[in-house]
Amino acid sequence: MSFLTLDHLSHHYFSKKNYTKALDDISFSVKDGEFVALLGPSGCGKSTILSIIAGIIEHTAGEVYVGEQPLRKSELDIGYMLQQDYLFPWKSIIDNVLIGPKIGRDQSSETKKRAVDLLEQVGLANITDSYPDSLSGGMRQRVALVRTLITNPKILLLDEPFSALDYQTKLKLEDLVWDLLQKYNKTSVLVTHDIGEAIAMSDRIILMDANPGSIAKTFEVPLELRNEKPFSARRHPKYQILFDKVWEALNQNEAGSQQTKVVDSSNDT
Ligand SMILES: Nc1ncnc2c1ncn2[C@@H]1O[C@H](COP(=O)(O)OP(=O)(O)OP(=O)(O)O)[C@@H](O)[C@H]1O
Ligand SMILES: [Mg+2]
């Protein structure tokens, strides 16, 4: 059975004068423990999908199910990680990590120990009393990862979590995140612009099209790549084959949407 299902989901953003059709008839499922990547051009609705799954915005049509229950009736624990780390500068690292449990009133010594353990696992032992300002971008994002994992969410939503980092840090973090998600068997949805990252990290890639956001194509990542850590997957011969296929599909979509735009403008005149 699927862990999460998006069933003919559509979304419009309304303002006083007009509206934007952000998503049109999106349907896909995510299995328990699966890692799905959403890949596509800017504005195709990737973040909107995550916001709907997170319950931050309400979709206009269709339904999201957790198991067989509509999302709004379920109590899905979600971990959300974004491009920006949103650490509070006036709080120490350990206090930043423990924000979630504090909101949930879980201040047990066990939770604190788990926080310290997780910080150690991401290579940040002995910085519990430091402040975010003294950390590099990569270290801050690792703290954000620990803060996301500490509440033990059922699903992780990752919205371009590595895109603000330098390439070397990004590659290292991809491996680290992949390792942790495997270890704790987390179900995850990753939003990215980066074809390589989608192939190296995920089990399945959903390629999206823009104007309005829709699903263009789905690619299964071969098992040989899925079993490798992202850094090694990038060096596997099958990586380049899939990269070329996704690249071609992306370019076809782009060409298609430009053609549509030309037709649209000629209709206007
Ligand atoms: N709060 C909002 N109000 C109105 N329109 C919005 C709002 N948020 C997003 N949109 C529009 O909805 C569409 C999808 O936006 P979304 O942010 O989901 O795209 P995205 O794929 O995440 O883009 P990017 O890759 O640039 O982050 C875009 O046309 C965007 O302008
Ligand atoms: Mg986005």
Q: Is the CB of 87 under 6 A from ligand 1?
A: no
Cα separation, 51 vs 70, in Å, equals: 16
Cα separation, 59 vs 80, in Å, equals: 18
Report pLDDT digits (tens) over 211-234: 999 999 999 999 999 999 999 999
pLDDT of residue 269: 36
pLDDT band at 119; cut points 50, 70, 90: very high
pLDDT of residue 259: 61
| pLDDT of residue 130 exceeding 70 | yes
Mean pLDDT of 242-265: 76
Q: Is the CB of 42 under 6 A from ligand 1?
A: yes
Residue 79, strand partner residues: 156
Least confident of 3-7, 30-34, 92-96, 105-109: 105-109
Instruction: Determine the distance separating the centroid of ligand 2 and the alpha carbon of 266, expressed in angstroms.
Output: 30
Chain mean pLDDT for the chain: 90
| pLDDT of residue 122 exceeding 50 | yes
CB atoms within 10 A of CB 26: 26
Report pLDDT digits (tens) over 137-176: 999 999 999 999 998 899 999 999 998 888 998 999 999 9
| pLDDT of residue 200 exceeding 80 | yes
Task: Kindly report the backbone phi and psi dihedral angles of residue 46, in degrees, each rounded to the nearest multiple of 5, phi listed first.
Answer: -60, -50
pTM to 2 decimal places: 0.91
- Choose among 194, 174, 186, 9: nearest CA to 80: 186
Q: Whose CA is nearest to atom 24 of ligand 1?
A: 42
pLDDT of residue 208: 96
Cα separation, 158 vs 189, in Å, equals: 6
Instruction: Determine the distance separating the centroid of ligand 1 and the alpha carbon of 54, expressed in angstroms.
Output: 16
Q: Is the CB of 206 under 6 A from ligand 1?
A: no
- Convert the chain into a string of H (helix), E (strand) and C (coil): CEEEEEEEEEEEEECCCCEEEEEEEEEEEEECCCEEEEECCCCCCHHHHHHHHCCCCCCCEEEEEECCEEHHHCCCCEEEEECCCCCCCCCCHHHHHCHHHHHCCCCCHHHHHHHHHHHHHCCCCCCCCCCHHHCCHHHHHHHHHHHHHCCCCCEEEEECCCCCCCHHHHHHHHHHHHHHHHHCCCEEEEEECCHHHHHHHCCEEEEEECCCEEEEEEEECCHHHHCCCHHHHCCCHHHHHHHHHHHHHHHHHHHHHHHHHHHHHHHHC
pLDDT of residue 260: 54
Q: Can the peptide bond before residue 161 be classed as cis, meaning omega within 30 degrees of 0?
A: no
| pLDDT of residue 125 exceeding 60 | yes
Report pLDDT digits (tens) over 28-74: 999 999 999 999 999 999 999 999 999 999 999 999 999 999 988 88
Instruction: Determine the distance separating the centroid of ligand 1 and the alpha carbon of 45, expressed in angstroms.
Output: 6
CB atoms within 10 A of CB 179: 14
Q: Is the CB of 48 under 6 A from ligand 1?
A: yes
| pLDDT of residue 194 exceeding 60 | yes
